Amino acid sequence: MQGAAIWEHEVSTPATSADGRIRRIFKGLGLVLGGKAGAGLLSLVYLLLATRYLGPTEYGVLVLVHAYVTTVCGIVEFPSWQAILRYGAEADRDGTPHRMARLLRFGACVELIGGALAILAAMALAPLVGPHLGWSAKAQAFAPYYAFAVLGSIRSTPSGYLQLIGRFDLIGLHNLVQPLVRIGGAVLVIACGWGLKSFLVAWLLAAVAEFSVLWGMGLWFASRRLGASLWRPQVGEVRRDNPGIWRFLIASNLDVTLRDLTGRIAPLIVGWVLGPASAGLFAVAQRATVIIAQPAQILGNTAYAELTHIVAEGGSAGQMRQTVGKVAGISLLAAVPVVLVVTFFPHFIVNLLAGPAFAAAATVMIVLVAARAIALVGPPCSAAIASLGHPEQSMAANLFASLVFLPVLPWLLHRFDLMGAGFQAVGQAVVSSLILIVLAWRGSGRLA
């Protein structure tokens, strides 16, 4: 509990400097990235095993089944971590454990109901979607069961609470769960000479493990900190405790859905238009962007946890802008070496990741990494907008960029083959980033 105690002391100090906030944001990022770095190495191992064992077409089917489930989940689910952080920061500041307990129970209920609906939707639509994506008969038969992989994403309530109390170290450790289970499954599948269906089973078990471990950690720390109030909170009304929580939840969820929608749906469009083999190539090309994408996503989450405290403590526009600007600037500088390495050594990287059968992914990988680098300014800007209580503005920016560029992706694929997906990613990154910068700057001006 030492880490939690340190966090409580830090966030309770109103006159925290911008540099101190930056240090805390990147300290949280470092703790999570420690786990992500280990997870990245482990993910490379199971990628090497899966791509070489299955080949482009069957690996493409594996990717498409997983992308289908995560896309349905992203549209239907109702994560609550942003509300937990925003309103939980106020409850933490005021020292009201019963309000915190009611908020956590509300967030868990909303998220679990959304998850159940996502599983049912993924089950129902799989027989209709599968034939258009080139799934094999075995993959189509197992796809309804694979819908339970949705559980891997239904864990934002405990994640939000662990971020709120500063336990980014535990979130970092949790990142190791999925790749460890996938590696174990891949080794067993290859040793026994099984096929694609067995890989799907391994990935499904990894998703269930992700769900179980993080919820277990969240419940453990919530019960230790909140005691009996977690299980039997005083009678109260969540909406009265947290004015505007439903509006905030709906807007923030639409924002997250639209921000992640392109990354989730693009492989499906590639598979639909060009077939499973091209989807496999695209998935390998996207893998290189994880080096940038995962730190950016984590940075947005850790920045959001800190920015909510700036707002809760009555911080100024200068504090908000300075914090966001430094976070975005450091992110862009850190991405430069990655972009340069990918630009000069794309064929070597693809061969390392997946083998010579995936060589055609090299060129589009360069463009996708460049697009991801451009989009790095988005997460801290979105975090600032949401912490100010206006996630609907970030949602509108992502909606506009998606509506402009996603509909043209099939045409781009027909016109430029797989490179069309790269052009689409760059255009959307430029437009969404510019809009988010303007919104974050204008929104922060309303602070004192």
pLDDT in tens, the chain (448 residues): 333 333 333 333 444 455 555 565 555 555 555 555 566 677 778 888 899 899 889 999 999 999 999 988 888 888 888 788 888 887 777 778 888 888 888 889 989 999 999 999 999 999 999 898 889 888 999 999 999 999 998 988 998 888 888 787 888 788 889 999 999 999 999 999 998 999 999 999 999 999 999 999 999 988 888 888 888 888 878 888 888 888 888 877 777 777 677 778 888 999 999 999 999 999 888 887 776 655 555 555 566 666 776 776 776 777 778 878 877 887 788 778 888 988 999 999 888 888 888 999 999 999 999 998 888 888 888 878 877 877 778 778 877 888 788 889 999 999 999 999 999 999 999 999 999 999 888 888 776 5
d(CA 387, CA 309): 8
- For residue 9, the model assigns a pLDDT of 37
Q: Which residues are CB-contacts of 251 (< 8 A; sequence separation ≥ 6)?
A: 390, 391, 392, 395
Q: What percent of the chain has pLDDT over 90?
A: 32
The answer to whether residue 383 sits within a structural domain is yes
d(CA 277, CA 271): 8
The answer to whether residue 250 sits within a structural domain is yes
Main-chain phi, psi angles of 102, to 5 degrees: -65, -40
d(CA 416, CA 361): 14
Of 3, 435, 64, 32, the residue nearest 275 (C-alpha): 64
> Within 10 A of 173 (CB to CB), how many other CB atoms are there?
18
DSSP 356: G
Q: Give the angle 150-383-375 at the CA atoms, nearest 5°.
A: 80
Q: What is the CA radius of gyration of the chain?
A: 21
The answer to whether residue 193 sits within a structural domain is yes
The answer to whether residue 287 sits within a structural domain is yes
DSSP 134: T
Exposure pattern of 288-327 as b/e (b: 16+ CB <10 Å)? bbbbbbbbbbbbbbbbbbbbbbbbbbebeeebbbbbbbbb
- For residue 431, the model assigns a pLDDT of 92
- Residues 401 and 375 sit within 8 Å (Cβ to Cβ): no
- For residue 418, the model assigns a pLDDT of 94
d(CA 243, CA 313): 17
For 193-237, where are the alpha helices, taking DSSP H only?
196-226, 228-231
For 275-377, where are the alpha helices, taking DSSP H only?
276-312, 317-344, 346-353, 362-374
Whole-model pTM? 0.77
d(CA 42, CA 203): 14
The answer to whether residue 4 sits within a structural domain is no
DSSP 242: S
The answer to whether residue 48 sits within a structural domain is yes
**Please, which contacts does 209-212 make with residues 24 or more away whose CB atoms are closer than 8 Å?**
209/177, 209/178, 209/181, 210/151, 210/152, 210/155, 210/174, 210/177, 210/178, 211/151, 211/152, 211/154, 211/155
Reading the block at residue 73, the tokens are 């989940």
DSSP 80: -
Domain enclosing residue 265, as ranges: 15-444
Number of domains in the chain: 1
- For residue 227, the model assigns a pLDDT of 85
The answer to whether residue 152 sits within a structural domain is yes
> Within 10 A of 140 (CB to CB), how many other CB atoms are there?
17
The answer to whether residue 10 sits within a structural domain is no
First to last CA, the chain: 35
